[in-house]
Structure 1
Amino acid sequence: MTGGAGAAELLELSARDLAAAVRARTVSAREVLDAHFARIDAVNPAVNAVVTQVREQAYEAAARADELTAATPADDLPPLHGVPMTHKDTHATAGIRTTSGSPVFAEHVPEHDELIVARFAAAGVISTGKNNVPEFAAGSHSFNEVFGTTNNPWALDRSAGGSSGGAAAAIASRIQPLGDGSDMGGSLRNPAAFCNIAGFRPSAGVVPSAPAGDAWAWLGRSGPLARGVDDLVLAMSVLAGPDPRIPLDCPAPRTGFRALAAEDPPDPGARPLAGVRVGVSADFGLGVPVEPEILKVLAAQVRVFQELGAVVEEAVPDLRDADEVFDVTRAFDMAVNLRAVVQEHRELVKPEIVWNVEKGLALTAEQLMDAALARTRLHEAVRVFFDRWDVLLTPTSQVLPFPSEERWPRTVAGMPMQTYVEWMRSASLISATGCPAVSVPGGFGPGGLPVGLQLVAAHGCDVELLRTARAYDHATRYADAVPAL
């Protein structure tokens, strides 16, 4: 280090600022890595976010990064040069154990990198290990029989969410500034809300999930998590773009994210959301139960959007078909991806997965046809809504972070939940629409637990959505708060 920040200050830097410091040679990649691993040693025993570490491999990569820094003009170095990152344990990493949180794959070491990992590496990220997930990323609470439970940095007896819970907890704990994740029914958004960070689910095809067993699958998405929206934009500038292995369209080109990343930070006093039309709904027009503490935060934050210039009114698309679309598509996808695992290792797989796979195997042709027609009706309802509105604002999660010993919440606002996915409807209803969605920190409930707000835009309007979220994030900066670990 050449007179730069100390280790504690490094851990507070955004990914953007951390990479800039490495490029400017005020700190070396190896010194950043020292701070990263020291933080893991200090806090990971409590949060259990990082489950696999490859320190020798990471230091070799950091040494190569420092050699590149010395030999290359700063402007020619990659945008995330020297930034350390553990990866979601369902994302394949070449030469690094990838268990998917399952005893079936407890010693599995892939030979390839998943696309999101490869694109982060090409952007300069140094891989340091893996972070925790629920088994096969099923459910929004990160526990499994291989590594145990990830705890929420804001309250160690509470869930960190899932399935990207290990990444969210690591980011909130200041282990790393940025992470990769995936989202079928809320797996980027729920942990972001629970841990007071930001998580982005892009439009289909913007960040291809490759390689894939079913290249045409549309419900699950890959995307980034970060403490702030600026870093989400930076991450998308290196993650977005088509891949020939995935035939889905890519409506938001990488150049759009790069242009947004280059824009000056929004000035909250200049009303940066002037003219933006925001429809807000607490119950999604379906009577979805939401805990009252979350509703209070949502009501308070509506005023922030209005102060930033947005026109905010009660409005929501007709989502009556969304449950059917999500439930059938999820069951189908689970059966496609995990039927062989359940058939061969049923006794090793958690019961929620067995139930969901069997539900998929039991689908009839009539159910699949009905779901296809429901998806078409839902698409039209959402299209009509976004003809008038730019953004939909809702709660991200229906509950505050719940006790970590629970597998899933059995009641929400006094209403019983019948399945392990029902309490996530605030996220899964939006998943069914196919629209891009981002969870941003919205403040804290009366007990100091984080609350996330969900912003949704029309398919392909990913850049515009992040621009709106960025203005709100700069005006509030709730993610600057640090959990007292």
Structure 2
Amino acid sequence: MVDILDQDAHVLAGLIRDKELSAEELMRATLARIEAVNSSVNAIISLRDAEACLADARAADAMENKGPLHGLPVAIKDLANAAGLPTSFGSPLFADFIAPKDDLMVARMKAAGAIVIGKTNTPEFGLGSHTFNPVHGATRNPYDLNRSAGGSSGGAAVALATGMMPIADGSDMMGSLRNPGAWNNVYGLRPTYGLVPSDMPGDAFLHQLAVAGPMGRCPQDVAMLLDVQAGLHSDDPHSYVQAPSAPQLAGDIKGMRIGWLGDWGGAYPMEEGVLDTCEGALSHFEALSAKVEKLPAPFPTEKIWEAWVGLRAWANAGGKAAFYNDPAQRGLLKEDAIWEIETGMALTAMDVHRLSVIRSQWYAKLIALFGEYDALLLPSAQVWPFPVEWKSPETIAGQAMDTYHRWMEIVIPVSLVGVPCVNIPAGFSAAGLPMGMQLFGPRMSDAKLLRIAQRWHEATEFKDRKPDLAALSR
């Protein structure tokens, strides 16, 4: 008998719509799974009272269907506001903050019928692809509780992998939808910049690095949530209208050309087994009649890194300088946040201009590549999930990491220029740890990437290898 929580989110939504499953039944099963598993992995935080969640589910059963997420329980990443729930950002500065209203993305999910029951854990201010913070502690990988879940959407990815959530929201500046997707054997889409609009206060024009987006156990679920999150909004000058993605997932990928960038010609150090695992998975594309071609390094990685470090630090300084300038608050900031702020504050206007020129040069080269290839591929991480006690890896293959985030350098060719990218599962290490690959394409190709990912999902066996829930429930 199939456990109801093993069903994909779009299937559950259809069962609720057709009155074959009640939202209350789904909520009871969800709360029971959280009760059994969450104490082992620490993925869901700020959980609402069970009776209040069940009351909302009964109300959903009594009303007309509100939309594609009707009756589905969700937990919101703790970098976004959900009215009445804490938004800690994983920081002691906000440990007691209760959100007075929903962020735009959360409001759209609720309007589509989702029932918000809590939050998912994240690193402090989302900095670093390892989910731990002094407010809620560390989130553990369900495939090995001694390992990192990735981040910053680590709580969301673990909630999906363990069946505690059918879908999840996340956000991504430096791999935060892709790295935890890879390390938890699920899908995470970093959308085209602007597709999922934001109404966050602050600058709306300069800092085009971070995005919000969907996660799911299959691309069809990712597309369903993306269509709820996406769309024009007057508060975001970069937002735009795009045809819904979910109806575009049908069709084969026969004849598509996909470029494999591997370790970028040896520029990215890789832990043993990562590259072999990803390259071993590429044959699935051949089985789908798509052609994979190995490509040489297309652009100097040191230039991409230089632009990324400066522009990311500049964005962090712009958003967090007020905390730094208050001595009492500065004492509560983690070391990595202070480093980002100080690095960003040291930049001149002409420094920023020079870095943005590098970004523009890389974008021009990338667009030329997309003139030849339907999509490109890179590993989603350079290392396997590492011990949960670590802050970050200090070396990879004998090469020292000179910053707290250098170990995730492989994600920034995508992040720097705002193109869409979906993590697709790629297999497991000898120790049973998951890995994934970044499938990325030109701006506004989100639906095409999800179509490729859906064919991949159907053709591969990775989805069948799930965490041992019995072990997590002990």
**Shared fold (TM-score greater than 0.5)?**
yes
Give runs of aligned pairs for residues 153-164 of structure 1, distance below 5 A.
Answer: 153-164=142-153
CA distance in 1, matches of 2:195, 2:180: 21
Residues 212-223 of structure 1 correspond to what in structure 2 (within 5 A)? 212-216=201-205, 217-223=207-213
The alignment partner of 1:375 has SS state of: helix
Give the alignment of 1:243-392 within 5 angstroms.
Answer: 243-250=233-240, 253=242, 255-260=243-248, 263=250, 272-285=252-265, 287-315=267-295, 317-320=298-301, 321-344=303-326, 345-392=329-376
Question: Are the counterparts in 2 of residues 322 and 433 from structure 1 also a CA contact under 8 Å?
Answer: no
Separation (CA, whole Å) in 2 of partners of 1:310 and 1:422: 33
Distance 1:103 1:375 in 2: 34
How far apart in 2 are the matches of 1:57 and 1:359? 45
Q: Which amino acid aligns with 2:308?
A: F
Q: Aligned with 2:212: secondary structure?
A: strand
Question: Which amino acid counterpart does residue 178 of structure 1 have in structure 2?
Answer: I
CA positional deviation for 1:319: 5.0
After superposition, residues 1-150 of structure 1 pair within 5 angstroms as 9-55=3-49, 56-68=51-63, 72=64, 77-150=66-139
Contact in 2 for aligned 1:319/1:429 (Cα 8 Å): no
CA positional deviation for 1:191: 0.5
Secondary structure at the counterpart of residue 182 of structure 2? helix
Please give the secondary structure, in 2, of the residue aligned with 1:158.
Answer: strand
Q: Supply the AA of the counterpart residue of 2:155.
A: G
Aligned in 2, Cα 1:188/1:256: closer, same or farther, shift over 3 Å?
A: same
Alignment match of 1:444 (pick from 410, 423, 428)? 428
Identity level (%)? 39
Please give the alpha-carbon distance, in whole angstroms, between the structure 2 residues aligned to 1:379 and 1:212. Answer: 28
Alpha carbons 1:23, 1:77 under 8 Å: kept:
no
CA distance in 1, matches of 2:131, 2:344: 23
**Residue in structure 2 matched with residue 427 of structure 1 by the alignment:** 411
In the alignment, which of 396, 402, 418 is matched to residue 412 of structure 1? 396
Q: TM-score, normalised by structure 1?
A: 0.93
**CA spacing shift, 1:10–1:191, aligned 2, 3 Å:** same
**2:221 aligned with 1:236:** no
- 1:269 matched residue in structure 2: none
Q: Secondary structure at 1:474's aligned position in 2?
A: helix
CA–CA distance in 2 between the matches of 1:452 and 1:58? 34
SS state at 1:18 partner: helix
Contact 1:282 1:290 in 2 (8 A): no
In structure 2, distance between residues paired with 1:244 and 1:324 = 33
Q: Larger deviation: 19-28 or 141-150?
A: 19-28
Distance 1:433 1:339 in 2: 25
CA contact (8 A) 1:285 1:318 kept: no
Paired with 2:118 and 2:141, the residues of 1 have a C-alpha distance of 20
Q: Cα offset for 1:256? A: 3.4
CA shift at 1:433, angstroms? 2.5
- Return the offset for 1:457: 0.2
Query: Shift of the alpha carbon at 1:249?
Result: 4.3
Question: Which of 457, 460, 466 does residue 476 from structure 1 map onto?
Answer: 460
Does the 8 A contact of 1:153 with 1:172 survive in 2?
Answer: yes
TM-score using structure 2 length: 0.95
Q: 1:348 is paired with a residue of what secondary structure?
A: coil
Residue-pair matches, total: 463
CA contact (8 A) 1:196 1:479 kept: yes
Give the superposition deviation at 1:286: 6.0
1: CA distance, partners of 2:444 / 2:188: 17
Tell me, yes or no, if the aligned pair for 1:284 and 1:319 is still in contact at 8 Å. no
SS at match of 2:263: coil
Q: Alignment partner of 1:129: what SS?
A: strand
Check conservation: 2:271, 2:383, Cα contact below 8 A: yes
Q: Is the 8 A contact 1:323 1:432 kept in 2?
A: no
What is the one-letter code of the residue matched to 1:104? L
Distance 1:284 1:117 in 2: 37
Kindly indicate whether the alpha-carbon contact (under 8 Å) linking 1:286 and 1:319 is maintained by their aligned counterparts in 2: no
Q: Give, in whole Å, the separation in 2 of the partners of 1:256 and 1:286.
A: 38
- In the alignment, the residues of structure 2 paired with residue 51 and residue 24 of structure 1 have an alpha-carbon distance, to the nearest angstrom, of 31
Match of 2:235, as an amino acid? R
Question: Which digits, 9 at most, give the CA deviation of each residue in 1:286-327, with x for residues without a partner?
Answer: 611112311111111111111111111112542543212211
Alpha-carbon distance in 1 for matches of 2:16, 2:247:
22
